[in-house]
Amino acid sequence: MPEAVAAHPEGRVRRRGSLGPVALVVAGGLSVQFGAAVAVLLMPRAGAVGVVTLRLVLAALVLLALCRPKVRGYTRADWGTVVAFGAVMAAMNVLFYQAADRIPLGAAVTLEVLGPLALSVVVSRRLVNVVWAGLALAGVVLLSGGGFDRLDPVGAAFALSAGAMWAAYIVFSARTGRRFPQADGLALAMAVGAVLTLPLGIAEAGSRLLVPSTIGLGLAVALLSSVLPYTLELLALRRLPAPTFAILMSLEPAIAATAGFFILRQALSVTDALAIALVIAASMGAVRSQVTKRTPKK
């Protein structure tokens, strides 16, 4: 799950059509999803909530050290926005890792991506996006075997809830980016999320969070899932149009399925692969229709 949408201004595009920024975005996606696979491996040691705590606490420490955000000069509304952003971030991660603990990683990300897709459809208010929503729904039905009988229903519910939080994350991410410079808002929101999840992680895992090998794996998850992808995506968006970035982010379910296969040995059936492909196509179609709407005719 990306945590780098926060402050990506669309107006900072310098070069278009270069493979360099595209490679950075793909590398960021690989980092996020392989980090999620490492997190699944860590769950038997620390539990799903314990892993979230390790990820957010360690990522917050790294980002705060790198960004050194200022805490003076902001209004109550600014702080309200960043606190809401951090709370949504914490909820999104807790829900997603609960899902990943119960269902295959590719399926979890496929269901989760429906949140941003639904947001795109609602915001655009275009009839064609109903088609994309229907295509995504067909993919979900195919993935679930017609009634989620092949997936743990609790895990599927967690993934869908994480998708709703992802949609909220995008909204508060943009608001935070407008109120705080560069990555300062993300670093502060990450700290808020860490504070909110710390009691839950301690309650679930206790002293197991302090085992050196567990901390090491948690740091790997924090770097792979938060710090590294944010840096790569920030560099990419200085030269890549935001709509292109959004289309590339639609590939997340496929990347997650690949990570699940290589690291977790979670094999995909032909039906699963087709279902994921339908959701990816729907996401790309929704983004492209928004771009068409915004582009004036010559």
Residue 130 is predicted with a pLDDT of 76
Residue 12 is predicted with a pLDDT of 42
Give 124's pLDDT tier (boundaries 50, 70, 90): low
Residue 297 is predicted with a pLDDT of 44
Give 219's pLDDT tier (boundaries 50, 70, 90): very high
Residue 182 is predicted with a pLDDT of 84
Average pLDDT over residues 73-82: 96
Nearest Cα neighbor of 55 from 202, 174, 259, 223 is 223
Distance, C-alpha 243 to centroid of its chain: 17
Angstrom distances, CA of residue 51 to CA of 121, 126, 193, 258, 290: 32, 40, 13, 21, 36
> What mean pLDDT value characterizes the chain?
84
Phi/psi for 147 (5° steps) reads -175, 25
Residue 193 is predicted with a pLDDT of 97
Residue 145 is predicted with a pLDDT of 61
Angstrom distances, CA of residue 246 to CA of 2, 211, 237, 278: 11, 38, 11, 17
Average pLDDT over residues 35-62: 96
Residue 15 is predicted with a pLDDT of 41
Residue 134 is predicted with a pLDDT of 82
Give 213's pLDDT tier (boundaries 50, 70, 90): very high
Q: Tell me if 53 sits within 8 A of 201, measured CB to CB.
A: yes
Tell which wins on pLDDT, 52 or 25.
52
Residue 163 is predicted with a pLDDT of 92
Q: pLDDT of 14-46, one tens digit each?
A: 444 455 888 888 898 999 999 999 999 999 999
Residue 279 is predicted with a pLDDT of 84
Residue 200 above 90 pLDDT? yes
Average pLDDT over residues 223-230: 91
Tell which wins on pLDDT, 242 or 56.
56
CA distance linking residue 81 with residue 18, whole number of Å: 35
Q: pLDDT of 133-169, one tens digit each?
A: 788 778 877 776 654 456 888 999 999 999 999 889 8
Residue 215 is predicted with a pLDDT of 97
Question: What percent of the chain has a predicted confidence (pLDDT) above 90?
Answer: 48
Residue 5 is predicted with a pLDDT of 46
Q: Which of 109-123, 228-242, 249-263, 282-296 has the highest mean pLDDT?
A: 249-263
Tell which wins on pLDDT, 106 or 119.
106
Q: Tell me if 6 sits within 8 A of 231, measured CB to CB.
A: no
Nearest Cα neighbor of 139 from 35, 250, 244, 247 is 250
